[in-house]
Amino acid sequence: MNNNTRENFGSKLGAVLAAAGSAVGLGNIWRFPIETGQNGGAAFIIIYVACVFLLGIPIMMSEFFIGRHTQTNTAGAYRKLAPGTPWKWVGRLGVLSGFIILSYYSVVAGWTAEYTRLAIGNCFDGKSAADFPTIFSAFVSNPWKSVLWMVAFMLITHVIVVRGVKSGIEKFSKVMMPALFVILVVLAVCSIMLPGASRGIEFLLKPDFSKISGAVVLNAMGQAFFSLSLGLGCLCTYASYFRSDTNIGKTALNVALIDTFVAIMSGFIIFPAVFNAGYAISSNDIGPSLLFITLPSVFQQAFGSIPMLSYGVSVLFYFLLVVAALTSTISMHEVVTAYVSEEFNMPRRKAATIVTIACSVVGVFCALSFGPFADFKLFGMNLFDLFDYVASNIFLPVGGMFISIFTGWYLDKKLIRDEITNNGTLRVPYLRFVIFILRYFAPIAIAIILLNQLGLFSWF
Ligand code: PFF
């Protein structure tokens, strides 16, 4: 595909909603509340927000201007900016990360679809807390169900990606993101009105600084990365469809604000209900158990006095997860599809089909790692956990670190200034600060996260 036929997002709002759709996902509604619950409530949120602003927004701006300047997929972007150098491997690593994350993320996304079906069928009604672990383990260990839902989710993603940037990704984001905000606010209001909700709210808003440690700071940074979809060129690929008048700084700020808003609102849905039902977020809630074992039970207990309410809350909540997951899987699929299509000179539909088939095959192994392949372990982890670990804890931080080094040290500062100011037409007073962060703070901070996660360095 040459640049003349390349599509663009039709509007600035469409571009913001598509990028926000990528950022808002299971990471916000599932990982963020757990991290908050285990790391000192509001104290964690303060550090997380600092990471979003000090690290997330500058790196997001880098991804945006690399993508918009080069108007090509993430691997092609580095080749164009640094021809004949190994920098193209940063883009390729991003494509590989997108492929791996899409393969296992679609498995959990499929689970959210099955739980939406169960909620619509009123299958949680009358169940006790002890029933939910059994329901979940019966589902995930059933090879057919898990695989079929994963494939179904991949196919829906495929259909939207094949329709293209404007009539697929942008159109879908413009309908689904507002729907997501409405559902989020309705659920948060229902939860806040529960008796005893104030304890949940206090937990979210009253910082317990005694829980803060080096490890907590590192978790907050890792969460900010995953949640903002940074480090794999996803936002770089989306930015390659931005129009030339898109304000990069403002778009990055909007995406970060929307993503943080959704994460905090998820806390307002989950904590008042969890406290009302007398649960405590525990270390068992790591992984899928919060979403698929604790919460269905919490919703029954907290809203059970009005049966229609517990039904409505459960249906809306799982549907919210489906929508959030789908806007994220679309963005990961697009990273790989754009790469295959442009680097191997293939029509978009054919490239998307190859990506869908390849990711589904790998996804089958991830889905089965909770059933028939549960005993197949590498480095003590099943395939699903291994992929999650390698992609989120290693590939994303490595990608983010190289992106900041690339922009902070390799690229010409004039090019950066021209891109961010739209050739001098925008005033961007914080530009020097952003460049400072990209040169010094981001690479060092990310190197610390990485070494810590690999266990090569312990900071406290
Ligand atoms: N940001 C998504 C979430 O919070 O669930 C996850 C994600 C999407 C990560 C897209 C990476 C990516 F490229």
Q: What is the pLDDT of residues 308-355, one digit of tens each?
A: 899 999 999 999 999 999 999 999 999 999 999 999 999 999 999 999
pLDDT, mean of residues 251-256: 97
pLDDT of res. 159: 97
227 lines ligand 1 (CB under 6 A): yes
Asked if 408 and 442 touch (Cβ cutoff 8 Å), the reply is yes
Three-state SS at 378: strand
Q: Which residue has the higher pLDDT, 258 or 196?
A: 258
Question: Residue 115 Cα, ligand 1 centroid: separation in angstroms?
Answer: 21
Report helix angle 74-81 to 88-120, nearest 10.
160
pLDDT of res. 282: 63
pLDDT of res. 281: 66
Residue nearest to atom 7 of ligand 1 (CA): 229
Which of 28, 157, 226 most suits a substitution to test ligand 1, by most atoms within 8 Å of the C-beta?
226
Judge whether residue 400 has pLDDT over 90. Answer: yes
Asked if 333 and 351 touch (Cβ cutoff 8 Å), the reply is no
Atom number in ligand 1 closest to CA 234: 13
Asked if 151 and 363 touch (Cβ cutoff 8 Å), the reply is yes
> Each residue of 122-139: pLDDT tens digit?
999 888 888 999 999 899
pLDDT of res. 239: 97
Q: For the chain, what is the radius of gyration of the CA atoms?
A: 21
How far is the C-alpha of 233 from the C-alpha of 406, rounded, in Å? 13
Instruction: Quote the strand ranges of 68-173, DSSP E.
Output: none
Judge whether residue 65 has pLDDT over 90. Answer: yes
pLDDT of res. 322: 97
Banded model confidence at residue 140, pLDDT cuts 50, 70, 90 = confident
Q: Which residue has the higher pLDDT, 140 or 359?
A: 359
Which of 331, 359, 398 most suits a substitution to test ligand 1, by most atoms within 8 Å of the C-beta?
331
Question: Residue 254 Cα, ligand 1 centroid: separation in angstroms?
Answer: 16
- In single-letter form, the type of residue at position 98 comes to G
Asked if 227 and 57 touch (Cβ cutoff 8 Å), the reply is no
Banded model confidence at residue 5, pLDDT cuts 50, 70, 90 = low
Measured in residues, the chain has a length of 460
pLDDT of res. 6: 80
> Each residue of 269-287: pLDDT tens digit?
998 998 888 877 665 565 6
pLDDT, mean of residues 76-84: 96
Judge whether residue 181 has pLDDT over 50. Answer: yes
pLDDT, mean of residues 151-173: 96
How far is the C-alpha of 396 from the C-alpha of 402, rounded, in Å? 10
At 251, list the tokens: 């778009």
> Each residue of 82-101: pLDDT tens digit?
999 999 999 999 999 999 99
27 lines ligand 1 (CB under 6 A): yes
Round the average pLDDT of the chain to a whole number and report it: 91
Q: Which residue has the higher pLDDT, 92 or 384?
A: 92
pLDDT of res. 431: 93
Tell me the range of 24-33, 206-215, 284-293 where mean pLDDT is highest.
24-33
pLDDT of res. 2: 45
Judge whether residue 24 has pLDDT over 90. Answer: yes
pTM for this entry: 0.93
Cα dihedral across residues 72, 75, 78, 84: positive or negative: negative
Residue nearest to atom 9 of ligand 1 (CA): 229
Question: Residue 431 Cα, ligand 1 centroid: separation in angstroms?
Answer: 26
pLDDT of res. 240: 96
Residue nearest to atom 11 of ligand 1 (CA): 229
pLDDT of res. 283: 56
How far is the C-alpha of 165 from the C-alpha of 65, rounded, in Å? 18
pLDDT of res. 290: 82
Judge whether residue 449 has pLDDT over 90. Answer: no
Question: Residue 228 Cα, ligand 1 centroid: separation in angstroms?
Answer: 6
CA angle 422, 425, 430 (to 5 degrees): 75
Which of 227, 327, 329 most suits a substitution to test ligand 1, by most atoms within 8 Å of the C-beta?
227
Judge whether residue 393 has pLDDT over 80. Answer: no
